[in-house]
Structure 1
Amino acid sequence: MITQQKILQLLADTECHRVERTTSKNDMDKFCQAICAFSNDLSGDGKSGYLMIGAYDNGELSGLKVDDTLLLKIANIRTDGNILPQPLMTVEKFTFEGGELLVAEVQPSEFPPVRYRGRVWVRVGPRKSPASEMEEKILTERRLSNVRTYDAKPCLGASLKDLDISLIKKEFLPKAVAEDILAEDKRSIEEQLASLGFFDLRYNCPTVGAIVLFGNNPERHVHGSYVQYVRFKGIDRAGDIIHEFKFDGNLCKSLPKIDTFIETSVSTKRPIPVSVLREKIVSTYPYWATRELLMNAIMHRDYDSNSPIQFYEYDDRIEIQNPGGLYGKVSPENFPNVSDYRNPFIAEAMKVLGYVNRFSRGVYRVQKELKENGNGEAKFDFSLRTAFRVVENISKKYFEEGFGADNPENTKKAQRNNQEQPENNQKTTRKQPENNQKTIKDEIVELIKENPNITRKELENLLNRTPNSIKYHLEQLTKKGIIKREGSDRVGKWIVIE
């Protein structure tokens, strides 16, 4: 981190490409644009940039008082996912006679171009501005020379024909690049993908990450790039296989299927009475926590391995195992407080597609949700060296009503009976949502009744669901004739058919 003496020198000097001064405390767009520009380091000098909050353009201090709220707000820029790839930065408060100063030190990224909300910002002298096509090309070439991760390597033998271009243009580019920038972009699809880290112009081929995310047949080039789900009867792999499924194909298409599968087939729900008039919904495995653990496995796995991700369900637990142990700076001692990314471009794309909400916070929320649901904390196994395994125990609360969760033998017996009598079990679980429990579809219908003009984004926020989950349920409700859409997506409204 920069020293106090160095700060005094920078304050006394004129503002340059390495320093941004401001007296504002709330202009988050300005702060993020500056951090994005410093990360891109267009000058290529390899030196850190400094955002100084609490100083005028002439270097005089404004008398700002830096509190914990401001420190936290600026520090959160690193992990909120609006700047991608994730910036390398530190934040610190300095105290002088004329006031306090908040300094964010930003290191140049090894994977430029860096984008803030789909737009590349650069710094030329004392000003910052959106990058031109030529400036973006310079940053792209610099990234190619810094390539170290497997997902950024050229997939030799593959070509543009191996990618689903229509999928990229329809589902990914509009989310990854600002609308006005995309409309003005006259470059070829190869150059557009190269600027996002998914095409290698030197070898004229897609990267490994592009094949995994958008490939027509990813396994042809990246063997083992799929998720293998198996439901075993009993508590180990010696039991009979009740159900198995292979989630293959590119991630852009398979992630929505995995998301829906967890919600509808793994996260079985039932109401637990809390009082005479109130019930609490408890799941065998909470949807969001289970989904987050599996998405982390997909994001952090070693794609150089031929092994798939194992998503195995037993009577008493779920085990998720992915190829590749802890990576980079992460160790058993500092996990999950320290994060590092084996596949930064795949991680960035999953954030853009809506499957990663915020970096470095998922494990804490997973543990909280699991404890509240009665599963106990997830157990992470670091002993496998070349693999990473997490175990999620089934919820004890789920079996409290009528199953005697205080008796483990009764719980196991009930679980076995559920598998041995599928017809009766299906009849029971189908009746519960109608009489005792609100399903996600019920909640969507109620919200539409309250506000026919409600948007998908509002439904996502109110129900804490992903875009693809809301899209899936709206399509199902429409197909069943429960709701219909009148007018366009932008100005139309929903109608509940009585």
Structure 2
Amino acid sequence: MTPLTDDELIALIDDLESDRAERKETWNGSAPEKGRQAVCAFANDLPNHNAPGVLFVGVKDDGSPTGGAFTVTDNLLLSLADIKTDGKIIPPPTLTVAKRNLRGHDVAVVTVWPSDAPPVRLDGRIWIRTGPRRGQATAQDERILNEKRRYKDRSFDTHPIRAATVGELNKSYFENDFLPQAVARDVLDANGRSYEQRLASLGMIASVEEVYPTVAGLMTLGSSPRTWIPAFYIQFLRINGTAYGDPVSDEQEIDGNLETMLRRLDEKLKAHLSVSVDFTSGTTTEVRKSAYPLSALQQLVRNAIMHRSYEGTNAPVRVYWFNDRIEISNPGGPFGSVTVENFGRPGINDYRNPLIASVLKMLGFVQRFGFGIAETRRSLEANGNPPVEFEVQPANVLAIVRAA
């Protein structure tokens, strides 16, 4: 992802017919919504430029600078960076945000690289560009975007499982539960896509021509995902003690599709969360306090499901609950821009499984991208727990949460 030079950026600003440039005078009014549509379209890269598109803020439609009272503030740059993490565009786009001085004027520059796994959606709609115009994708556009996927370039969660058939996918669950959460209602009512086209558009099968379920398709819709992805389950142990080898009072392998597995785990966590009652505070009102905040445990497990490696391992995500702590083990080390050294730092995130991340967002298990660790730290502090501890290795991440 090499940044574009000043000359390249100026050339895009001046080319008023380019489908790789979007210009906004300010970031007020309808600009944030239209800007997100442009980012979604650049990520889809329907013309197949294999080159980044750029959203300029501080530039008029005719290419001249906004001037006047417009300034590129830190708040503006943070708002633009939020496009990647606010969960409106899925899979999360690959983009950078920078303040650049072009022809003597400061401009906010959002550079968006084409997605490896199109189509990309904004609030359940696929946006594309044709010349300087943007619009929603037609059925033919979707087919082209589906065909742009390259198995050798794609993340493992988008690979097809050729030994499986489309019959492994739960059609009723897809049409009645998942699809309404994934695609905007007006698009569903209007598009008339076939079952296979809808599956392909959401990455659940390889393509309409190759009707093989993908890894993410089996995880999301499969009747028995673990048959095809042996590592796709959560091993839960409640250990009555503080050391490995102490007696186990509860043990369960939690599996099923993504939604079923995470809801079963939530039930298990709630069942084991003991609540103490404090009558010693000098008030007549009892004070209830849990040893762990449910939100923190949910964030850590969902992050593990999202970011773990499913390739070349049969190890599950492990949740080991001791008397003094909970350990959550993720069989997948840092990925991409995340390293052992910068793991957990605010603003540093990457996606080993972008399609699984999208599904978790569609199902409501993830509200924003890149905020799981921050929410964990916040909820632990509010509950009186020590900070979460991470032991990060190249092929594994262990999170330790100690009791309040």
**TM-score, structure 2 as length reference:** 0.91
1:307-329 per-position Cα deviation (integer Å, ceiling 9, x unaligned): 22211111111111132222233
1:214–1:252: 8 Å Cα contact kept in structure 2?
no
Distance 2:314 2:379 in 1: 33
Q: 1:10 to 1:148 in 2, by over 3 A?
A: closer
Q: Which has the larger radius of gyration?
A: 1
Among the aligned pairs, what percent are the same residue? 38
Say whether 1:325 aligns with 2:333: yes
Match status 1:195 vs 2:201: yes
The equivalent residue for 1:306 is 314
Report if aligned partners of 1:233, 1:315 keep a CA contact under 8 Å in 2.
Answer: yes
C-alpha separation in 2, matches of 1:55 and 1:278: 59
Would the aligned equivalents of 1:93 and 1:102 in 2 still touch at CA under 8 Å?
yes
Residue 222 of structure 1: aligned partner: 229
Q: What do residues 217-248 of structure 1 show as CA deviations (whole Å, max 9, x unaligned)?
A: 11211113111111111112211111122211
> How far apart, in 2, do the equivalents of 1:360 and 1:32 lie?
18
Q: In the aligned structure 2, how far is the partner of 1:90 from the partner of 1:213?
A: 30
Alignment-derived partner of residue 373 in structure 1: 383
Aligned partners of 1:377 and 1:297: how far apart in 2?
A: 18
Matches within 5 A, 1:82-121: 82-95=88-101, 99-121=105-127
Report how many aligned residue pairs link the two structures: 393
1:459 alignment counterpart: none
Query: What SS class does the counterpart of residue 89 from structure 1 fall into?
Result: strand
Residue 295 of structure 2 is aligned with which of 288, 294, 297? Answer: 288
After superposition, the Cα gap between the structure-2 partners of 1:73 and 1:271, relative to the gap in structure 1 and judged at 3 Å, is farther
CA distance in 2 between partners of 1:194 and 1:208 (Å): 13
Q: Of residues 167, 172, 181 in structure 2, which corresponds to 1:175?
A: 181
- Which residue of the partner structure matches residue 51 of structure 2? 47
TM-superposed CA distance for 1:380, in Å, is 1.2
Q: Measure how far apart 1:303 and its partner are.
A: 2.1
What amino acid does structure 1 have at the position aligned with 2:48? G
Quote how far apart the aligned CAs of 1:286 are: 0.8
Give the equivalent residue in structure 1 for 2:324: 316
Does 2:70 correspond to 1:68?
Answer: no
Whole-angstrom CA distance in 1 between matches of 2:316 and 2:52: 40
Contact 1:53–1:103 under 8 Å retained in 2: yes
Question: Are the counterparts in 1 of residues 332 and 396 from structure 2 also a CA contact under 8 Å?
Answer: yes
Q: Are residue 211 (structure 1) and residue 215 (structure 2) matched?
A: no
How far apart, CA to CA, are the structure 2 residues paired with 1:277 and 1:375? Answer: 25
Q: For 2:122 and 2:356, how far apart are their aligned partners in 1?
A: 17
Residue 289 of structure 2: SS of its match in structure 1? strand
- Whichever residue aligns with residue 242 of structure 1, its letter is S
Q: Which ranges of structure 1 fall in alignment gaps of 5 or more residues?
A: 396-498
What is the letter of the counterpart of residue 249 of structure 1? G
Q: Which runs of 4+ in 1 moved over 6 A?
A: none
2:373 is aligned, of 357, 363, 366, to 363
Who is 2:156 aligned against?
A: 150
From the superposition, tell whether residues 184 and 380 of structure 1 become closer, same or farther in structure 2 (CA, over 3 Å).
Answer: same
Using the alignment, how far apart are the partners of 2:253 and 2:245 within structure 1?
A: 20
AA partner of residue 368 (structure 1): R
TM-score of the superposed pair, with normalisation by structure 1: 0.75
* Change in CA separation of 1:308 and 1:10 when aligned onto 2, cut-off 3 Å: closer
In the alignment, structure 1 residue 10 sits paired with structure 2 residue 25: no
- Name the aligned partner's letter for residue 46 of structure 1: N
- Computed over aligned residues only, the root mean square deviation of the Cα atoms, in angstroms, reads 2.0
Q: Which residue is 1:425 aligned to?
A: none
More helix by share: 1
Tell me, which stretches of 5 or more residues in structure 2 are unaligned? none
How far apart are residue 199 of structure 1 and its match?
0.1
Q: CA deviation at 1:146?
A: 5.6
Counterpart position of 2:239:
232
Q: In the aligned structure 2, how far is the partner of 1:323 from the partner of 1:108?
A: 29
**Corresponding letter in the other structure for 1:102:** A
Q: 1-side partners of 2:64 and 2:168: how far apart?
A: 57
8 Å CA contact 2:151, 2:159 repeated in 1: no
